[in-house]
Structure 1
Amino acid sequence: MKTLTRALSFITILFLMSGLLINLNKKNIKIVSAETAPAKVAVFLLDFNDDFIAEIADNLKAVQNENSGKVEYTFYDGKSDQSVQNAQIEKALDEGVDLVLLNIVDRANAQNVMNRIKEHNVPVILFNREPVSPVPIKSYGKAIYIGTDGAQAGALEAKMVIDAWNASSQYIDKNNDKIMQYVMLQGEADNSEALQRTKSAVSTIDKSGISAQQVALIADWREDLAYNATKQLYERYKDQIEVIIANDDTMALGAIKALQEYGYNNGDISKTIPVVGVDATPPAKELIQKGQMLGSVYQDARAYAEALYLTGMNMISGKNPIEGTKYIFDYTQVSIRLPQTKYFYRNMFTGGNAIEGTIETNDNQ
């Protein structure tokens, strides 16, 4: 009887152990498949029609192809409408994602969006469009921001304008008063990066010794609004507008389209108003080479894509976002600033080929 009891006990133990091994194997299978499946990343963009945002998307696709099997990006067009973007975020979170990359439409709505993402415990990287304050990002331990240094971009815009004025003021100074009258197409009135670009551009021009006068300051980033605003300003000021400083190429292109309707910026240097922008998008570079636009500061879409990929993969793995990378956080401890040191420039008044200029700066990546 004892022998039979021991045998039954031994069989029971074997049965329990085999069941345990099967369960462990099932768990191992799940772990292996999770490790080999590509990370699912939802990329929410302001608007597919924004040239620079489209460039970032193209570069993220290139990064995905270069890292086959590691990441899978799904792109959503916010159509410049926060309600549209909110619905897209809800859908993606409900379906399940490993990471959110957020080019937010309404920067003032960042806290509400952050709260929703936080409920799903999904890491998030906001980029390019910075919340009005760092508070929403700091409210969630799995959130960071990646952007650029607005002051650097503004200084570079000013440098191009200063160089053109010093070499060709006889063409630019339409009213011969030896004062540079300029229009500033700023961007959103409460956008910290736009404000930094504006402040830096103005101060750099002031420090150069050139007498300058701001004719008008216009807000928002859209091409159609810049086009309409430039037409209205030209009707009001005409030859008092001698330079246009746009804080991105989208607005610069809108301004140039408006000027061309009045016979300006079509190749005749006697009827050309220098326009500078930021992003160095392909359409802007084409206009620069044609002599219809003075220059543009590079925002490196590839650098954005690489930073989003490297920090994002760290966050998916539960690591510090900047671990093993070249990036550092700024004073906020949640924001990474990509440096801007290059510009694309051609003085249409003196001729010659377009050049890629650089300035020395502290690398704060």
Structure 2
Amino acid sequence: MKKMKSRIARICLALCLAAMMAGCAGTEKKEEKTGIKIGVAIYRGDDAFISSLCASLENAIKDKEEKLGKKVVVNIADAKNSQSSQNDQVDDFIRKGYDAICVNMVDRTVAAVIVDKAKEAGIPIIFFNREPVEEDMAIWNQTYYVGTDAREAGELEGQIVADAWKSQESRIDKNGDGKLQYVMLEGEQVHQDSLIRTEYSVKTILKEGIVTEKLASGTGNWMRSPAYELMQEWIGQYGSQIEVVLSNNDEMAMGAIEALVENGMSGGNGPIVVGIDGTEDGLEKIIKGEMEGTVMNDARGQAESILGIACACAEGKDPKQEVPELKGQYVRVPHSPVTADNVQEFIDYKNK
């Protein structure tokens, strides 16, 4: 009987030792985790600004790795403008145990579904460019947004037009009626920036005491081709009556410029064109004199904030220590006006 008890005791001791060793091995394996995995879901990869932001994000990884002393892996998934596809991509990031998830929503009004999933999985989530409604942001305190102030963008765009009118009224006011006749290229109607940029660009011009007349407006969905088609239609309808083309972004402005060039109305022969984003194409058109100005939407600054918050959260740190611009759950990266006077400065900034 004593031998049996002794044998049982030895077996129990061996099992305890094995369990302790397994526990230590699990701890060791956890401690060996030296990298950070970040999933990025974008609404569509053929959007010029989002493409620029993703490139800036990838360029910022090396500096972040050197600072942290560990590998940072960023996986970018393109939803191709499908919310259901984006939901699946987020599910995949969660299933694979990513440390942080960054989302450029297809439909910003349904972000609650993604926030709920991230909260349940305990994975911090950073939205960018397409801002969720406040109620969805409030679901979880590990939810963040990186973007800009759309009102500021609209005001700066309007100010570029107002300044041009005051200094070049005789050139811009082709019919000499003292009114600024304009057409407006708008982004997606569901995108908050489109509505606000449109409103405040015109309000700013009016505040400067300039009388305006809207000839036409249309939705180009941020894209070049639809804007080109709209501009061709407006040229056919209004021709030289168009004195200013206001565009919610540079990519649509590029479509308008293509139509103006085809109709011999570019540069000094036609209306001035103003956009928002400060894309490479936009800056190039300013250099060529085919675009009056743009408003720099700092893709690099936004990418650095996104990466900073994601890495800080992945390491269990307060993201505000990494990104001082973070106010509560939000980062608003400032805009800058760009014209022929300072365009080279922004070209140099982009090329750094």
TM-score with structure 2 length normalisation? 0.87
Shift of 1:19: 3.7
CA contact (8 A) 1:148 1:338 kept: yes
Tell me what 1:162 maps to: 162
Task: State the alpha-carbon separation in 1 of the partners of residues 39 and 169 from structure 2.
Answer: 49
Higher helix share: 2
Deviates more, 1:282-291 or 1:160-169: 160-169
Q: Distance in 1 between matches of 2:293 and 2:344?
A: 9
**What is residue 283 of structure 1 aligned with on the other side?**
281
The question of whether the paired residues in 1 share the 8 Å contact of 2:151 and 2:197 is answered with yes
Counterparts of 2:322 and 2:63 in 1: how far apart (Å)?
19
1:64 matched to which residue of 2?
Answer: 61
Shift, 1:8, TM fit: 8.6
Q: Is the deviation greater in 103-112 or in 303-312?
A: 103-112
* 1:150 equivalent in structure 2: 150
After superposition, residues 154-233 of structure 1 pair within 5 angstroms as 154-219=154-219, 220-233=221-234
Instruction: For 1:323 and 1:315, locate their aligned partners in 2 and report how far apart those are by CA, in whole Å.
Output: 11
Deviations 1:237-292 (A, max 9, x none): 22221101111111111111122221121x5x1x1211111111111111110111
CA contact (8 A) 1:52 1:301 kept: yes
Aligned length: 341
Could you tell me how far apart the structure 1 residues matched to 2:49 and 2:42 are?
Answer: 11
What SS does structure 2 have at the residue aligned with 1:280?
A: coil
Give the deviation of 1:178 after TM superposition. 1.1
Q: Which residue of 1 aligns with 2:246?
A: 245
| Aligned counterpart for 1:49 among listed residues 30, 37, 46 | 46
State percent identity of aligned pairs. 34
Structure 1 residue 334 corresponds to structure 2 residue 329: yes
Cα distance in 2 for partners of 1:102, 1:119 equals 17
Deviation at 1:95, TM superposition (A): 2.8
Structure 1 residues 17, 112: closer, same or farther in 2, change over 3 A?
A: closer
Q: Deviations over 1:316-365 (max 9, x none)?
A: 23444324431232xxx43221111x22212xxxxx884659xxxxxxxx
- The two structures, once aligned, show a CA RMSD in angstroms of 2.7
State the partner residue of 1:310. 308
Deviation at residue 216 of structure 1 after TM alignment: 2.2
Partners in 2 of 1:21 and 1:113 — Cα distance?
Answer: 38
Answering whether residue 179 of structure 2 is matched by residue 141 of structure 1, we say no
Shift, 1:91, TM fit = 2.9
Once the two structures are TM-superposed, the CA of residue 129 in structure 1 deviates from its matched residue by: 0.9
Query: Gaps (5+ residues) in structure 1?
Result: 347-351, 358-365
**Residue 337 of structure 2 corresponds to which residue in structure 1?**
343
Q: Structure 2: how far apart are the matches of 1:163 and 1:117?
A: 46
Alpha-carbon distance in structure 2 between the residues aligned to 1:81 and 1:264: 37
Secondary structure of 1:328's partner?
coil
Contact 1:227 1:254 in 2 (8 A): yes
**Cross-structure match for 1:29:** 28
What are the equivalent positions in structure 2 for 1:1-150 lying under 5 Å apart?
15=14, 18-19=17-18, 21-34=20-33, 36=34, 38-68=35-65, 69-131=70-132, 133-150=133-150
Q: Which 4+ stretches in 1 moved above 4 angstroms?
A: 7-18, 352-357
Once the 2 structures are TM-superposed, how far is the Cα of residue 103 of structure 1 from its aligned partner? 0.7
Q: AA paired with 1:336? A: V
Mapped contact 2:57–2:303 kept (Cα < 8 A): yes
